[in-house]
Structure 1
């Protein structure tokens, strides 16, 4: 078996988190006016997405059993939601950076099909299986990627609204975005209750406190982004005027909830890496930290515009820097990790 075959057999679907993180950072940089760097990340992200999509198709064809096992697992199954979120974030980049509506619409439709397939396959499988893990073993921050995937559909759908001329189609797209937004809110409130219970009342070692728990904040950030864009698009659909006060309130609520997580997550990361001196090395889960930081920047910027709170733009600008630094460190560690893996594989062969 070659190095590529070995990697494909055990390919983690969560690698699309790299697409999510790069895309969110690209959009955030674009909103802050860093257009050249934003465009460079956009083209890089397109290559990430194409390669990972190709690898996923190959794995589906040649390693079907392993893929199905992962999809129906309590631990690995949530990783597949990164495919949906990554698809929509690339579509959002196409609108923000290039105004390419045709590609964005195609990706949006594909993501909805993936959403139905992955959402109901995963939740059905973990519901009916007999050998279930305990709550402490089975639940983790990665489950909230289901929320991110759902809200990513709302974001891209809302971005498409100004480009739709047919009134009936416009209403359908807006309604779909609103439904996905509210569904994402429901999923978050349901899942975060279990995650908080696991964090507070079950034994938690510093080994288990991975950067993936930053999705606790990232899911709220993309919910804020979806709500903010729909608020700014309210004039395109008269019916939305009745829901506008509610939408403003719940969007601000989720931004506040996401902001609450940031100091706590920083403290917990210090507890892991500084106090317990956990080795800082490449981990796929680190993209679960980069994405929330970049998404918080973009969502705060859009919230400031939607609710006419200009003082929040400085906070949005401040979060670009840690997101960019973490992304750069992640890429360096990723390249080093792959080179080391390749060397070990050849040596063992």
Structure 2
């Protein structure tokens, strides 16, 4: 739909591209590419990485230029899109044993964290109680950041020398810290849903499903990469929670 609008309605495309939601084009492309990489289709995954990388700077500049305070949870998509590049880059680096790609992914990992802090400074905290679903991206951005950290750790342990012991230690510490912060956001946002229930359907509720699923994926990936099998059960539980949320939102969409 994003590409079709570019061809058929350029003014509308430019207007949409200047909103945080425009970065979903990058995020979705990297998620799809990561899935293809997991299936062994590395050439297609690499093509999607190139496409996402080409879109990323232009959309990011438009979003940052047009952002104001306070912003809804979609503002964290600047982090999500950037960390998506890190996840896909690290996945390809592991699959094809390409050190430079892992190092590039590491740059995007740290850049994504910087963009998270920028987004946090513009995020309206009242969205926790008043948001229509996209406030959950505040936690989802940390989840995909933790996933990127886990993928980078996995890339370093699967092939040529990438990180020394200090580098690996920093990555492990930061990844676990991001994971804990994500769970804290998860709890805060869940409390917000109980304090101020918003049961009516809103298309932005799909932005609730993504962070739930990403938290589950990050948990399962960390369990493997950091050799913490005790997290596997938590990851499975969170995966079922995400599936239930997907069904609930889907039911609301067709009701």
After TM superposition, the score normalised by the length of structure 2 is 0.92
Report the CA distance between 1:157 and its aligned residue: 0.9
Written as runs of structure 1 = structure 2, the 5 A alignment for 1:1-349 is 55-72=1-18, 77-96=19-38, 98-123=39-64, 125-126=65-66, 135-136=69-70, 139-164=71-96, 170-195=98-123, 198-199=124-125, 206=129, 208-235=130-157, 236-241=159-164, 242-273=166-197, 278=198, 280-336=199-255
* CA–CA separation in structure 2 for the residues paired with 1:80 and 1:272: 28
Structure 1: how far apart are the matches of 2:128 and 2:176? 33
Cα 1:232/1:239, change in 2 over 3 Å: closer
Separation (CA, whole Å) in 2 of partners of 1:238 and 1:322: 38
Greater RCO, 1 or 2 (C-alpha within 8 Å, sep 6+): 1
SS at match of 1:293: helix
In the TM superposition, what is the alpha-carbon distance from 1:60 to its structure 2 partner? 1.6
Q: CA deviation at 1:297?
A: 0.8
Aligned CA distance change for structure 1 residues 228 and 204 (closer, same or farther; 3 Å): closer
Q: How far does residue 320 in structure 1 lie from its aligned partner after superposition?
A: 1.1
Unaligned runs of 5+ in 1: 1-54, 128-132, 337-349
3-state DSSP of counterpart to 2:178: helix
Q: For the residues of structure 2 that align with 1:253 and 1:162, how far apart are their CA atoms?
A: 23
**How many pairs are equivalent?**
253
1:110-145 CA distance string (max 9 Å, x none): 00001012112332x327xxxxx5x23xx1211001
State whether residues 85 and 105 of structure 2, in contact with CA within 8 Å, keep that contact through their aligned partners in structure 1. Answer: yes
Which structure has the larger Rg over C-alpha atoms? Answer: 1
> Corresponding residue for 1:21?
none
Confirm or deny: 8 A CA contact 2:143 2:214 kept in the other structure: yes
Structure 1 distance, partners of 2:163, 2:13, is: 41
Query: How far, CA to CA, are the matches of 2:51 and 2:101 in structure 1?
Result: 14
Q: 1:258 to 1:334 in 2, by over 3 A?
A: same
Unaligned stretches of 5+ in structure 2?
A: none
Q: Secondary structure in 2 aligned to 1:117?
A: helix
What do the CA deviations read for 1:173-228 (whole angstroms, capped 9, x no partner)? 11211011010111112222332xx31xxx6695x322111111111111111101
Q: Secondary structure at the match of 1:240?
A: coil
**C-alpha distance in 1 between matches for 2:62 and 2:214:** 28
Report the CA distance shift for 1:190/1:99 in structure 2 as closer, same or farther (over 3 A).
same
The answer as to whether partners of 1:209 and 1:272 remain within 8 angstroms in 2 is: no
CA distance in 2, matches of 1:80, 1:263: 28
Shift of 1:332: 2.6
